[in-house]
């Protein structure tokens, strides 16, 4: 269990725990964040290391969960965001056809394949429910990413979707909590961007209902060190200490 008010610090603590303990996984891991501070110098240093290893930058990973830049571009209008995202979705899938063949995270949130019911905008259902402020059934405040009809495959290696599920909760003081669930998460390549993207998603929902995001909690079945050895992980920590003063 890692509880912090800084995304950068939480990521570093997770990496340190894996390095100091046997194996290269944490099973399970719970990360709970408030205030959502971040070290810009840390982000620059991590992005530089990711680029060196031909991995996506933190911002790129975060945008797969919530396309904040598109939200800003559309004047913080969520309906324009939905429409604009679905319009460019074919291009997004074409850019990385191997990863996006079964869909994208934000697509599953706003256009989940409901079979005979058609496409379901799970986020809009949650937002309109929260706007009422009288939640008769809290189980309604959840959205699925994993789709058994598409994702139960026999492939030996499947990267999407690692994020399975998100739920929302309104506290007695009217603030918002976002919970997320991962079967497997890749610490080096994805975790920081995942957490940032989910926090941005929570802030989006909070903004749309006129409140603030109070806490983000991520439940992970298996947190993997993925592409790094422990010695490489320690070298990365040393680099962060030097460049980001962490």
How far is the CA of 151 from the CAs of 118, 132, 164, in angstroms?
Answer: 18, 34, 11
Read off the pLDDT of residues 161-215 as tens digits, 9 standing for 90 and up. Answer: 789 899 999 999 999 999 999 999 999 999 999 999 999 999 999 999 999 999 9
**pTM, to two decimals:** 0.92
Give the chain's end-to-end CA distance (angstroms, integer). Answer: 21
In this predicted model, which residue has the larger pLDDT, 56 or 162? 56
How many structural domains compose the chain?
A: 1
pLDDT (0 to 100) of residue 155: 61
Averaged pLDDT of the chain: 89
What pLDDT sits at residue 160?
Answer: 63
HEC string of 31-97 equals EEEEEEECCHHHHHHHHHHHHHCCCCCHHHHHHHHCCHHHHHHCCCCHHHHHHHHHHHHHHHHHHCC
The strand pairing partners of 144, in sequence order, are 165
pLDDT at residue number 245: 63
Domain range for residue 190? Answer: 2-243
CATH number at residue 8: 3.30.572.10
DSSP string, 126-175: HHHHHHTS--S-GGGSEEE---HHHH----S---TT-EEEEEEEE-TTS-
Residue 108: which pLDDT band, with cuts at 50, 70 and 90?
very high
The pLDDT of residue 241 is 77
pLDDT at 158 over 60: no
pLDDT of 14 above 60: yes
């Amino acid at each position: 269990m890692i509880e912090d008010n800084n995304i950068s610090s939480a990521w570093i603590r997770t990496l340190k725990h894996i390095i100091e303990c046997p194996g290269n996984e944490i099973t399970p891991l719970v990360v709970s964040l408030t205030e959502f501070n971040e070290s810009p110098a840390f982000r620059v240093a991590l992005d530089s290391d990711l680029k060196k290893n031909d991995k996506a930058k933190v911002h790129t990973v975060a945008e797969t969960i919530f396309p904040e830049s598109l939200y800003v571009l559309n004047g913080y209008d969520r309906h324009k965001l939905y429409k604009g995202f679905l319009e460019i979705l074919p291009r997004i899938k074409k850019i990385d056809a191997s990863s996006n063949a079964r869909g994208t995270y934000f697509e599953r949130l706003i256009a989940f394949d409901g079979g005979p019911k058609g496409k379901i905008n799970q986020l809009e259902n949650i937002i309109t429910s929260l706007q009422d402020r009288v939640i008769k059934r809290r189980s309604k405040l959840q959205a699925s990413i994993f789709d058994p009809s598409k994702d139960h495959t026999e492939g030996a290696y499947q990267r999407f979707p690692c994020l399975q599920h998100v739920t929302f909760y309104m506290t007695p003081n009217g603030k918002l909590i976002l919970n997320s669930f991962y079967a497997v998460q890749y610490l080096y390549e994805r975790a920081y961007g995942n957490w940032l993207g989910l926090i941005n998603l929570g802030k989006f929902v909070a903004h749309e209902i006129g409140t603030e995001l109070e806490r983000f909690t991520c439940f992970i079945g298996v947190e993997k060190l993925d592409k790094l050895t422990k010695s490489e992980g320690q070298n990365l920590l040393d680099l962060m200490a030097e460049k980001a003063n962490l």
